[in-house]
Chain A
Amino acid sequence: MGRLVLLGSVLLACATVPPPRPEAQPAQTPVAALPEGLTASPLRPAEKAAHLLNRLAFGPRPGEIDALARGGDAALWAWVERQLAPSTIDDSEVDARLAPLPTVGLTNAELRQEYPSLNELAKAHGIDLSNESAKRELQAAVDPDQLVRRVEEDLAIQKLVRATESRRQLQEVLLDFWFNHFNVDLEKGADRWLVTTYERDALRPHLFGRFRELLGAVAHSPAMLFYLDNWQSFRDQPANPRHPNQPHGLNENYARELMELHTLGVRGGYTQKDVREAARCLTGWSIERPNQIGSWIFRERQHDEGAKVILGVPFPANQGEADGERLLDLLASSPATAHFLATKLARHFVSDDPPPSLVERLAQRYLATGGDLTAVYRELFGSPEFWSRQAYRAKVKAPLEMAVSSVRALDGHLDAARPFEAAIAAMGERIYRCQPPTGYPDTAQAWVNSGSLVARLDFGLALAAGRLPGVHGHLLPFTPGRRRADPGPFVREVEQQLLGGPLTPETEKVVLEQLAPETRAMPDGEVRPLDVHKLAGLILGSPEFQRR
C-alpha cells in the first residue's frame, strides 16, 4: 500500500511549483461574450480562480490557480465552458487508471452472480455463520476479491480517484450533487449490487442534459426502484389466498419521495391523494429478479389500469407503462420543480441561504429551456451572486470535499479507498451509505460540530504527515531547506499552494508562532528546517481550509 512520501531534498530557497496541468491552460481563442457577473466581480483574479476551482472542482491542485488567473476573465470563462462540455476534455489518464478495476464495467446480473456475499456463500455450502470457527474457516477459504465487498471497494475507489484526479472536475462535482439529490443507500439489501450501474448508467450520462432525462433514467434504475420499494408495488387487489405473502397492493414510498425529494419539493403543492395516484401510475415499474438479473422491467400484470388524476391533471385509463412516463413529464415541467431544483443548485454552488433573486432567475431559465440543466448551470456560474464577495468561501466543505481537496492541494494520488472512506466517515459522511432518501444536508450547520471538527484536524495532520494509508505522491513539491530565520515567506508560499490565497492574519500569526521552535537557530548558527508536515497539517486543519 502506498504511503505519502516527501519528495525532493533539493535545497531550495523558495517554493517551486510543477507546471500547470493542461486543463488549467488559458484558452487559445477568447470567448465572445463573457457574463457580466464575472467581469464585474469584485474578486481579485487569483480569488476568482480559487473560487472556480473550489466550487466547480474539488479544490485546486498546485499551480492551477496561477495558471487560470493568468489568462484573466476570458480564460476563466473558457475553463467553465470546457467543464460544461466534459466530453471535450481528455480524461484518458484517469480512465486508464480505473480500467483494471474488475467490477466497474459489469452489468447488474454479472455483479450479482459473480460477487456473492459471505452469507450467500455460507448458505450455498450449508455453513452456519453463527459458528465462529466455521465462519473463520470459510473466510480463509474464499478469496475476498470474489465477494461483494470487491464491488463496494471498486465503487468507492473509482469515485474517489475521479474526484481527486479527473480533469472533468465539474462532472464529478455534479455527480456527487445529483447522487445526493437522488440518494440511494448501498446498505439496503440488493442495492449493494445495483449502485454500480446506477451511478454509471443512470446518473453519469445525464448530468448535462435535460432534467427529464435524468429523472427518467433514475425512474428506470433498479437501484432506485429497490431502494424506495416501488418494484413490489401492485395495483390494489385482494390477496391471493394461495399466495398470501405475495405483494398485492400499493406501496407509496417511491411516489412520495419522487414528488417530495426528486421534483416538486415538500411544499410543492401535492396532496396525499396525489401521492396515491402517482403510486398507481408507477405500479408495474419493477425489477426482473433483483437477486439474479436485476434489470428494469414493466410488469403489465402489476399495473393499475384505472384512470387517475394527479395535480388536477386527468390520466386516462389503460395507458400502461405510459402512465409513469406522463407522470414524470408532468413533474419535470412543473414550476415547483424548477424552483426546488434551482434552490438546491444555488445552495450548493453559492451559499447556504441563496439569494431569492438568483433562485428565481435559475427557475425561469429552467422553465424557458425545457429543463436544460447545462443552461441552468451556465446561468448560475455567470451570475453576479456566484461571483459576489459574499459567496467567496461562504460554503463549509462537506467531509468528502474536505478530504478530496486536501489530497489535491498536496498533489497526492489515491490507491486504496478504505482508509480514506473511514476518514471521511469519521467527519460525518459515509459515501454511498446515507440511509434516508433525503441525502445529506447541504449547509454548514449539518457539518460543523465538535466531533466532526476534531476528525478534520486529525485527518489533515495524518495526511500531511504521510500517516494515511492508501495515498501517495508528493506531499509538497518543495522543501524549505536551510534558510533564513524568518519562515514568513516560505509559509506564505505554502499557504498559496494549499489554499490558493493567504490565511487570515489571525490564523497566520498562530501558525508562525507554532512553528517558531522549529525555526530557531541552532548553536552553530545554522537554522533548523521548518517542519513542513506540521505546517501543511496546520493549514489543512485551519478554519480557512474548511471553506470553499
Chain B
Amino acid sequence: MAKSSFRLNRKGGAEVLKELAAPAINALANQIAAQAGEDAEVDEYTTDRAAAAVKVPAHQQAKDGVLTRAAAAAGLEVRAK
C-alpha cells in the first residue's frame, strides 16, 4: 500500500486567512456599520486572521438595537466572544 504524505502549508493558510479573506470581512463590517447608522465605526485589524469590529454608541444599542438589527440584516448574529 502506498504511503500518502500530507504537508500542511502554513504559509499558504496564513495568506488565505489574513490577506485573501480581508476584503470580504471588511466589506461585511462596513455593510453592517452603514446599516447601523452614521455613529457606527469600523475597526479593521488582523490577528492570526483578518477581523473587523463594528462599534456603536451604547445608548443606541440599548434603546434601538442598532447593532444587533444591522447584523441580522446582514445574516449574522451578535454574541459575546
Bound together: no
By a beta-carbon cutoff of 8 Å, the part of chain B in contact with chain A is none
